[in-house]
Chain A
Amino acid sequence: MTTSSSRLLALGLLTLCSLAARADILSIENPWIREAPPNARVLAAYLVIHNNSDAPVAITDVTSPAFGSAMMHATVEENGLSRMVHLGRVEIPPHGEVRFAPGGRHIMLFDPEKRFRAGDKVPLVLHMDNGICNFFDATVRKTQP
């Protein structure tokens, strides 16, 4: 078992995530984190989440052992002002997908444990409303894949 996955397992146990059938429900496409300036305290992760099941699924939380905290956000534009709003719940319809991309939905990551550089893999956990978690690594990159 790699260090990263044992850490994830520990985190999963800590957060009472069920590891059962975790790979079946969601599939994660191109998870990446934008490499940030050395003094950045907040980073953003992007990905596409597919729901492979016949039932709707909702993501209710995001965590990462590599960051102080994490949450789902959306950048929305109103009257020429771009602001970030917190998303407490993101629904994915059966066999549908939800896209997190620059200028739109993103996973906000606060207080990185160290400076991440392009090529690094960072563990993230999506928590679903059915109590199941999805564990994956996001790759740090300079530009959108």
Chain B
Amino acid sequence: MIKRPLSYRLKLFLIAVAALIGGYFAGHYFARPDLKNLSAVMMPKPIPVQPFELTDFNGKRFDAGRLKGHWSFVFFGYTHCPDVCPTTLSELARVFNRLADDPALQQNTEFVFVSVDPKRDTPEQLKTFVHYFNPGFLAATGDDEQLTRFAKQLFVVYQRDDANGGDDYDVAHSANISLIDPDGNFVAAFKGVHDPKRIAADFKQIVKYWNWSHDNFF
């Protein structure tokens, strides 16, 4: 057997270790889930939701902290809305059903309806309304200052046409569905006409990507 200098063996060993480490990261890099062909609009980078304070239909404070530890779909509307709001809530109920193949994710996803009509949408009214679509859905509302504080962070606007005092008015509002990650960051928005199948597929893709980047960088 030819005796090689130790430094040569060490070199070989170091190269092998480097290759292993490199291969590990390259493998991860190539296993990186892509975010192509999504119908969701991804935020260029996650936007941490800043403080706001609403009240849910159980009278509990609903604030930025309540968005942490799980995924949230947030939709703004009002219960006297016959077209966009029931359509979107029934689509979100179908998104929930489509998560049944991943029970852990389904359990870890909250659906929140934020009413921009606190005058007519009492806690009881909100609870009955959203529970019709899914008994696990949550609803919250608050005063205009707090509603705006939350809404504008999600690029949501609204305008209540109740200037003439009556109880018969419409509320114009953005129809976006916002997605918030378990760190409380606004990560994506679903706009326009929503398709539950696409939302569920996009969501799973976003979660995969999110899990991948957390495994690799944190």
Using a CB–CB cutoff of 8 Å, the interface residues on chain A facing chain B are 34, 36-44, 73, 75, 77, 79-84, 102-103, 106, 108-109, 142-143
Contacts and interface: CB of A to CB of B under 8 A. Distances in A.
Interface stretch (B34-42, B62-70, B81-89, B203-211): B81-89
B56 to A, nearest CB: 17
Contacts of A41: 80
A126 B157 CA distance: 35
Given A106-B82, A106-B83, A37 B129 contact: yes
With most chain A CB atoms within 10 A of its CB, the pick from B84, B159, B173 is B84
Given A34-B87, A38-B132, A44 B173 contact: no
A39 B159 CA distance: 23
Contacts of A42: 80-82
A73 B81 CA distance: 12
B82 A43 contact: yes
A40 B175 contact: no
B86 A36 contact: yes
A82 B79 contact: no
Contacts of A73: 83
B82 A102 contact: no
- Give the size range of B's interface with the partner: 20 to 34
20 contacts: A34-B90, A37-B129, A37-B131, A37-B132, A38-B132, A39-B125, A42-B82, A44-B82, A73-B83, A75-B83, A80-B157, A81-B158, A81-B159, A81-B174, A82-B84, A82-B173, A82-B175, A83-B159, A102-B83, A102-B84
Interface of B: 79-84, 86-87, 90, 125, 128-133, 155-159, 170, 172-176, 193
A31 B133 CA distance: 22
A87 to B, nearest CB: 13
A34 B83 CA distance: 9
Contacts of B81: 42
Given A37-B128, A39-B129, A103-B193, A82 B174 contact: yes
Given A73-B83, A103-B84, A40 B193 contact: no
